[in-house]
Structure 1
């Protein structure tokens, strides 16, 4: 009797219960998912980053003078955004299923859009601080909710490419922001509004239109997706059923599974991943917010600086989407993340070491710096999705990673506060160089840790696997779960 029980368990853990899916039909389905979901995700994230980072463009377009932002006032305003931004990420990701994506995500977009429109009419420093605090609160839940939402449609090995679209959107928003800043700041004086006020007003209106459209276009899940037919929904159910073989019951329940929440908080891999995200985000936030200020420090005019930011972001977008495709194709994360982090470190070293008279080479160094920033940040998000199974463990892990990672914005807002007599931001570049190097070390550590766990599970006997299953280990603790390296 015991022997037959072990035989049944063996059948279970070797995947014999998987539902067969026609690969041709599945490929068509994935193409359709990409066609319908990806443009919405990109557009949402694009306007989010436009509204978040436009303070850098506004600063060199006259806002500093109009609001009398002397000393470190601009840096404080940038920092305060992240104070509220990090506060609500875990609660938002846990609330997504109950609150429904089609309601919660549009609520975030419309709310922060209203704040940005209001920012076009602020009169003093206190009002600027208030808008940044509100903007951070309403944008806080967007990224963990979007990544968690995508994980309910795509399988783990399909996710890096899809999450990459979000970060490509963030990179493109820098380029688009530069173009918008160039055009809208030339409206200076029209209808009595300064150019930087037009920048906030127009970008806020664009965002609110996107938010309203999202109400009607974003489905809660594949079952309510109006653009999927019944055959396609059947394939989606089969894909989810296959994924659930080793992910536990919580992938389908609406009730909050507190045990999975606790597992995420107790998992050292989640904390290591989050620490790496903090290091990488220090560079990402500092670079994306202060790039116009950095380039202007090389000696370019304000107007020319707005345009010179555009090619840097386009380059970063092309590199990242290429790397993310390769990461999914080869089913590898650390193999790409460590080299990309070191390339970015080289860029910071160039900006630290080159003489300020080498204007063209310094500008080239911003391309080197941008090469790896979005790659490591985006692939690390995908990595934590891949490494945590069970809906609420994954939701908690994403929220925790983003909370810790985005707290880097508090530091990033301050490190580019002081430049030396040559106009070089030594503290900002030095801190960024240090943190991206630490991130590379963290990614390598994560790789060796996960490889060790995979090898340990591969060496298990059938009896050991049965004991693990009988003890209730599911999700990423299941003996047949394999981590992406």
Structure 2
């Protein structure tokens, strides 16, 4: 009898004997036709992936366009002297981190088909309004509001995808979100190049055109989402009855490893929320995410400023950011495919973190006159950033079972991780005279090395728990099942390493 089958096929009698229990399905009863499952995954990807990519693309586009606007004249027009630009970047994360946990916890009750479009439409209105601000105070106000409305998108999308895909399928699908983030940099560079060239048209500066057009694009995406996004696979208009039956079967397979199915009618579970907050692994993951996001936010927001510091003009800089983001996207797609193919996380994350560290070291050590080498260093740096950030999100989703424990764990990780934006907004000082940005690169280098060490600790911890579960006797397993241990605490649950 397999381990997965035993968990639901035995029960304890009053005499403490173990007898067969056939009321629950066995692993054999839940077998799935591989060809049918493959067709189902293709259909899910065909409909979900474009929407997820589009949502996250416009989110990152609207979040990071402040870097493009800064080198297109906004700094002078709004009198952003001293560290005012850094403060404007930082305040976004003040409200951003405040609402991530609540957003993920209310997703089920508020309904994904309403809550996610609400976020997109709301921040789109803020971006459109940003095109007409006239002073520093207005910039701060729009950034605070933007952070509040964008805060729930990523944890909600991550949680939403986990209801459609098994844990061994999630790395590639969550990678779509980070590929969208990377592509937003490439797309944003091209848009910035085209829109800022409209400087003076209808009396608007080029950076104002940038905010206005990007806000309108996002608004269109949000309104479309109202009609396209289902609450769950049960209400997905593009799935037929056979598809939904297969998805129910897949959920039942997962339930064998976690001690029971996740309730569709419970809208809040305080016990699972407490378990997430009390789990040291969640906090370790969050600390690693803080380190990785220090690099991601600093690099993603200030790449135009960094490249311009190499001596390029503003328009040339906008174009030079594009290949860097395309390269980062290609690498991440490839790595996430391998991560799902081999069902491994740390073995890819640690090397990718070290590659990024080499990139920062190059930008710190290479002579400023070696422009080509410095530009190459941005590719090296970008190689691992999105991989480690994205795979760590997948890892925390994979490592927490029970809907509300997973929702809380994702929220905690993102809240702690995204608070790195407060620091990232301060370490790249645009007032630097030589374009070296030593503080920003040095802090990022240290952060990515700490993250690599944290991934190693997480790997060792999860492997130790798996080994303990593998060595449990049948009697010990039954005791834990009788004690009510479910989710990732269930004796049949195995962590992805």
| CA–CA separation in structure 1 for the residues paired with 2:255 and 2:27 | 13
How far residue 421 of structure 1 moved from its aligned partner, in angstroms, is 4.5
Deviation at 1:12, TM superposition (A): 9.8
Q: Residues of 2 paired with 1:418 and 1:188: CA distance?
A: 23
The answer to whether 1:351 aligns with 2:351 is no
The answer to whether structure 1 residue 88 and structure 2 residue 99 are counterparts is: yes
Range 353-362 or range 242-251, more displaced: 242-251
Partner SS, residue 98 of structure 2: coil
Could you tell me how far 1:17 is from its partner in structure 2?
Answer: 6.5
Give the Cα–Cα distance (whole angstroms) in 1 for the partners of residues 345 and 353 of structure 2: 12
2:130 pairs with one of 111, 119, 122 = 119
- Map 1:68-147 → 2, pairs under 5 A: 68-147=79-158
TM-score, reference length from structure 1: 0.97
Q: Is the contact between residue 62 and residue 196 of structure 1 (CA under 8 Å) also seen in structure 2?
A: yes
Residue 418 of structure 1, CA deviation? 5.8
- Partner residue, 1:412: 424
**SS state of the match for residue 377, structure 1?**
helix
Is the alpha carbon distance of 1:384 and 1:302 closer, same or farther for their aligned partners in structure 2, counting shifts above 3 Å?
Answer: same
2:372 equivalent among 360, 364, 378: 360
- 1:382-405 Cα offsets, whole Å, 9 max, x none, are 000100000000000000100000
* 1:159 equivalent in structure 2: 170
Aligned partner (choices 310, 327, 332) of residue 298 of structure 1: 310
Distance 2:395 2:106 in 1: 22
Whether the 8 Å contact between 2:72 and 2:207 is mirrored in structure 1 is yes
* Structure 2 unaligned regions, length at least 5: 1-12
Q: Cα offset for 1:483?
A: 0.3
For residues 334-374 of structure 1, give each alpha carbon's deviation from its aligned partner in whole angstroms, at most 9, with x where no partner exists: 00000000000000000001110111100000000000000
CA RMSD of aligned residues (A): 1.6
| CA distance in 1: counterparts of 2:75 and 2:314, whole angstroms | 13
Whether the 8 Å CA contact 1:250–1:392 is kept in 2: the answer is no
Q: Is the 8 A contact 1:251 1:392 kept in 2?
A: no
Partners of 2:100 and 2:415 within 8 A in 1: yes
Once the two structures are overlaid, the 10-residue window that deviates more, 368-377 or 415-424, is 415-424
Q: Of the candidates 441, 453, 469, which is equivalent to residue 441 of structure 1?
A: 453
Change (3 A) 1:360 1:456: same
Q: Which residue of 2 aligns with 1:225?
A: 236
Once the two structures are superposed, residues 290-338 of structure 1 have per-residue CA deviations (whole angstroms, 9 ceiling, x without a partner) of: 0000000011111100000000000000000000000000110000000
Aligned residue pairs total 484
The answer on 1:317 being equivalent to 2:325 is no
Whether the 8 Å contact between 2:179 and 2:329 is mirrored in structure 1 is: yes
Superposed CA deviations along residues 62-114 of structure 1, whole A, max 9, x for unmatched, are 00000010000000000000000000000000000000000000000000000
Q: Does 1:24 align with 2:35?
A: yes
Secondary structure of 1:187's aligned partner: coil
8 A Cα contact 1:13 1:480, kept in partner:
no
Which residue is equivalent to 2:320?
308
Alpha-carbon displacement from aligned partner over 1:409-434 (angstroms, at most 9, x marks no partner): 00000000166553210000000000
Q: Secondary structure at the match of 2:312?
A: coil
Cα offset for 1:241?
1.5
Tell me how far 1:243 sits from its aligned partner.
1.2
Mapped partners of 1:443, 1:18: distance in 2 = 37
After superposition, the Cα gap between the structure-2 partners of 1:12 and 1:316, relative to the gap in structure 1 and judged at 3 Å, is: farther
Equivalent in the alignment of 1:336: 348
Give 1:246 shift: 3.2
2:47 is equivalent to residue 36 of structure 1: yes
2:376 is the counterpart of 1:376: no
- Stretches of structure 1 lacking an aligned partner (at least 5 in a row): none
Q: How many angstroms apart in 2 are the aligned matches of 1:99 and 1:18? A: 35
Partner residue in 1 for 2:267: 255
- How far apart in 2 are the matches of 1:409 and 1:368? 22
Residue 298 (structure 2) pairs with residue 276 (structure 1):
no
**CA distance in 1: counterparts of 2:196 and 2:432, whole angstroms:** 29
